[in-house]
Amino acid sequence: TVVEVRVFNRHGVEKDERAMAIEREEIERLAKDRDDEQAILDRNVYGRLVEMLDGKSAIAGPKGFKKGATISAEAMSEYPRSQWWMFAVEDEKLQAELEDLRNVYDEAKSTLESRFMDKVEKVQRGDELPPGVMKQVKVFVAVKRKIQPGDKMAGRHGNKGVVSRILPVEDMPFNEDGTHVDIVLNPLGVPSRMNVGQILETHLGWACSGMGKKIGEMLEVYRQSQDVSPLRDEIAGLLGDNDRNEKVKTYDDDSVLTLAKQMTRGVSIATPVFDGAVEQDIVEMLEKAGLNGSGQVTLYDGRTGEAFDRQVTVGYIYMLKLHHLVDDKIHARSIGPYSLVTQQPLGGKAQFGGQRFGEMEVWALEAYGAAYTLQEMLTVKSDDVAGRTKVYESIVRGDDAFESGIPESFNVLVKEMRSLGLDVDLANSTAELPAPAESLPDAAE
């Protein structure tokens, strides 16, 4: 679905009919926004003015208003709003407040107008575009994205992670009654970060879900027996000793049934930060719900049907999909843009850049002894401009012999040194190297 279309024109270039129509629409929208803000300002300021003047005696007013007459909202409505500021009262303090109100109003009006003119000027001025681009059209599209491996998710306790696999539901682990789990989290994420809030949330969610199921079973019993007393006692027992417990006992039958239906989806619960549930409370809740006090259950492998070696912590938690989706991050480049100064590939997906081969990666190739790979990385795959062309030509010829030249970064270094006043030049020396000595002198001599 196309959400929005924006057309950008280079500053100083003559606009076509389409661009002019878009510009007119944008200015009309800005004018409407300004008029709406002006209407809100007028309503508030003139409403305040009527409140301040209503019932006061006027010592001055618009033409035709008697001096000394009482000002009222009806009398003011007979004059244009612009003339309301001509009313004056004897009370100096109130008159000073009226003057202040007018000054604030005039200032707000001029700010609105100047802001509108700035926006119009920005729309008409044109846009800064990259070199060689005369016009740019951006189409904003809304897309639904299903979660996939590589997408980032997080709970509410800083327990973030990346989706590694998505399996068919029949391959997921399941418990004794055949209920499959929705998501499997790596348990190593708990001791490493020590964010045990996720364990608390899991246990509480599991207990509340179990309580909801228990109330659902009691509802089934009620439908057969039509006796609401056991259901009321069950809800009161789950709520524990507090005010809500006493209130439930006073509910009529319909209210108890309505509450029970809501609770079948899971009992709502909250635990304060510094006065929250302790371990014993959670164990009791789990046992009340008819669950194992440890919060762990036996799970079965969905692929083999065999039980896992040990019990697994299972529960309910909130998991959020974060705006770090693999579709936005995946990136590959063979050739692409280069920096104007260094002639090295740009970096980042937005610039269609290459992968940085840094210092530590160079050390790794040095340690492997991969000399030719390293030479390629630092020359023809980077900033050896002549070498890049030669490599392309040799590939076209089907030849794999090519020589690397001088990287552009060397020329940048030379220019940098010259800017410091050092006359450095690269010269091809034809002088012969001295012949190696036949034997080295002994260190003792």
Query: pLDDT digits over 224-250, tens only?
Result: 888 888 888 888 877 766 667 677 777
Structure confidence by residue, pLDDT tens digits, 150-171: 999 999 999 999 999 999 999 9
Query: Which region, left, alpha or beta, applies to residue 71 given φ > 0 means left and ψ of -120 to 50 means alpha?
Result: beta
Distance CA 282, CA 287 (A): 9
Cβ partners under 8 Å of residue 331, min gap 6: 349
Structure confidence by residue, pLDDT tens digits, 54-90: 888 888 888 888 888 888 888 888 888 888 888 888 8
In 289-356, at which residue ranges do the beta strands (DSSP E only) sit?
Answer: 296-297, 312-313, 320-321
How much is the pLDDT for 273? 87
Question: Tokens at residue 75, please?
Answer: 């009398």
How much is the pLDDT for 435? 65
When comparing pLDDT for 239 and 443, which is higher? Answer: 239
How much is the pLDDT for 188? 93
Helix (H, G, I), strand (E, B) or coil at 320: strand
What domains lie within the chain, and their CATH numbers? 2-141 (no CATH), 196-319 (2.40.270.10), 331-419 (3.90.1800)
* Mean pLDDT computed over every residue of the chain: 89
What φ, ψ does residue 152 adopt, rounded to 5°?
-100, 135
What φ, ψ does residue 150 adopt, rounded to 5°?
105, -20
User: What pairing do the DSSP bridges indicate for beta strands 312-313 and 296-297?
Assistant: antiparallel
Distance CA 215, CA 203 (A): 18
- Sign of the CA dihedral running 250, 253, 258, 260: positive
Query: CB-hemisphere CA count at 13 Å for 37?
Result: 15
Helix (H, G, I), strand (E, B) or coil at 89: strand
For residue 445, pLDDT over 50 is answered with no
In DSSP terms, 10 is beta-bridged to 127
How much is the pLDDT for 77? 86
For residue 428, pLDDT over 80 is answered with no
Task: Read off the pLDDT of each residue in 357-383 and give the average, rounded to a whole number.
Answer: 95
How much is the pLDDT for 179? 94
Structure confidence by residue, pLDDT tens digits, 106-149: 999 999 999 999 999 888 887 888 888 888 889 999 999 999 99
How much is the pLDDT for 251? 83
Distance CA 158, CA 227 (A): 47
Q: Is 34 buried (19+), middle (13-18) or exposed (0-12) by CB count in 10 A?
A: middle
